[in-house]
Structures are given as C-alpha cells and as structure tokens.
Amino acid sequence: MSRKSDSHDDRPPGFQPRRSARVSVGDQAASLNPDNVYAVEIKVQNVSSAGFMAECAAPVRIGSYVSLDIPGIGPVQAQVRWQIGAKMGGMFLDPISLAHCEWTAVKAEAA
C-alpha cells in the first residue's frame, strides 16, 4: 500500500511560500542602484507585487538596499534577498501595483 505524501512534506526546513504570484516579463533591461551609490545593469525576468527576480552579472551584497526604476511606477526601494551565480532576487519594501507596471500591462492591439 502506497501512502501519498502531503505536499508540505517535500518542503525544505525554513521554506516559506511566496506571498504573491510572479509574472514573467521576459528580460526587461533595468538599472539597479545599490544603496543609491552606483548603478548595475540587470535584466528583470519576473516580478510580483512583493518582489522581482533578475539576471545580474555583478555581485550585489545580500541584504543591501537597492532602488529599481519600474516603468509606469518609478523608483521602487527593495532589499536584495539572494544571489546565486548571475540570478538574484529582491523584495520590495512596499508592495507595488502590477496594474501600473508597464512590464506587466496587456498591450492593446492596433485597430
């Protein structure tokens, strides 16, 4: 007799589920400004109301505060939560509205 494992049994210790769904935005070029001191070019791959994931060739200190200019919203403050190789993730200090984000807006078709 096989026993189905509960979906929560597969989670590693300390795992916390995402607070909001991510929306893929392709590779949107953006500038990340760690501690508002210098700029790092990144490619944002997905975004949610709570944070973002991006490709970033330069090392960015985990825990540092950054500013990310989001089209349709403007500069948004975030904290770098992780970086593994060229991938990094940040958590917005205040949630954003994806309805105002040009990366996630539905493009209108020409008439």
pLDDT digits (tens, 9 = 90+) for 24-57: 998 999 999 888 788 999 999 999 999 999 999 9
Asked if residue 38 is part of any domain, the answer here is: yes
Asked if residue 2 is part of any domain, the answer here is: no
pTM for this entry:
0.77
Asked if residue 77 is part of any domain, the answer here is: yes
What's the pLDDT score for residue 94? 96
CA quadruple 29, 81, 58, 78: dihedral sign:
positive
Residue 52: which domain range? Answer: 23-92
What is the CB-side half-sphere exposure of residue 81 using CA atoms within 13 A?
12
> How many domains, in total, are found in the chain?
1
Residue-wise pLDDT for 63-107, tens only, equals: 999 999 999 999 999 999 999 999 999 999 999 999 999 988 766
Asked if residue 48 is part of any domain, the answer here is: yes
CATH number at residue 72: 2.40.10.220
Asked if residue 17 is part of any domain, the answer here is: no
What's the pLDDT score for residue 5? 43
What is the CB-side half-sphere exposure of residue 55 using CA atoms within 13 A?
8
- Cross-strand bridge partners of residue 54: 44, 88
DSSP-based three-state secondary structure for 83: strand
